[in-house]
Amino acid sequence: MEFLIITGLSGAGKSRAADVLEDLDYYCVDNMPVALMPKFAELCIATGGRYEKVALVTDVRAKNSFDELLKIIDELEAMNCNVRILYMDADVRTLVRRYKESRRPHPLATRGTSIEDAIYKEIDLLTPVRERADYIVNSASLTLGQLQSKLFSLFSADGVKREIDVTVEAFGYKYGLPLDADLVFDVRFLPNPFYVDQLRQLTGLDRPVAEYVFSYQQTRTFMEKIQEMLDYLLPLYIEEGKLTLTVAVGCTGGRHRSVAIASALADYLKAEGINAVNINRDIEK
């Protein structure tokens, strides 16, 4: 069993690191009391493999002695757990700025004590843990996306940053916009198969409807431009740390034009190596 202890300075990004590790299938527990870690490990082992990767966040909020934490780590290793320490770090100036922006009190701040003094006190308390850390990540100059990339490179099974998952959703405007849409494209300007008698009862998944929609130059030009846009945007979304993207394509009823376009767009993304799925929300309405 793999145990990752996430610790470090308050405000350095421990909670964000835990969020990223959850995307890597770690079972994460925040603010775990040190004394409970061995019992928690026993419970995880007793599940017979259900929790193979566990990340525990601990810091000065738990009022722990960090010498005690190091002893507990030795106990976990004696239980045949693979224990590693991720130490989240940042410089004092950055931490002071973050606390000023959030207006939250530092956990070691007392009346008459400055944030800076509290940070230096925390640095002293955490020095033994920092010296034993397997990984030290300084978040001072990292965006959320860069932090995610760093942690993916350290802890993903293949060492490769995860790709974005794209949902291409066809919908009908008469039934409202999808609530989770990130990008919305309106294709009501395209010729409508609904007004062709032999196509009305079909959907955009049927070949005659798709051939009709794509027989027009404006459709082909639109597809080229939307493909170029996504080719440009997806790497930027990934760099920023976005893991999922919903592209909504709408026509009047959500049965013909939007379905044909969404299906073709999802096929294009799959051919480009993107994890893409196609949903047709209103096709049966």
Q: What is the pLDDT of residues 127-140, one digit of tens each?
A: 988 999 999 999 99
Rounded CA gap, 260 and 194, in Å?
13
Q: Do both 268 and 183 map to the same domain? A: yes
* Structural domain includes residue 160: no
pLDDT over threshold 70, residue 65:
no
- Burial (Cβ within 10 Å: 0-12, 13-18, ≥19) of residue 30: middle
For 199, the domain range is 165-280
* The dihedral formed by the CA atoms of 41, 47, 53 and 54, expressed in degrees to the nearest 10: -40
Each residue's pLDDT tens digit, 158-190? 545 567 899 999 999 999 999 999 999 999 999
Q: What is the pTM of this model?
A: 0.65
| Domain final residue pick, 155, 178, 195 | 155
Rounded CA gap, 14 and 92, in Å?
16
Rounded CA gap, 8 and 129, in Å?
8
Q: Do both 10 and 129 map to the same domain? A: yes
> How do strand 53-57 and strand 27-29 relate by DSSP bridges?
parallel
Question: 144-155 and 217-240 helices cross at what angle (nearest 10)?
Answer: 80
Pick from 87, 91, 79: nearest CA to 58: 87
| Domain final residue pick, 116, 136, 155 | 155
According to the model, what pLDDT value does residue 125 have?
87
According to the model, what pLDDT value does residue 161 have?
53
According to the model, what pLDDT value does residue 64 have?
58
According to the model, what pLDDT value does residue 211 have?
97
**More confident: 159 or 242:** 242
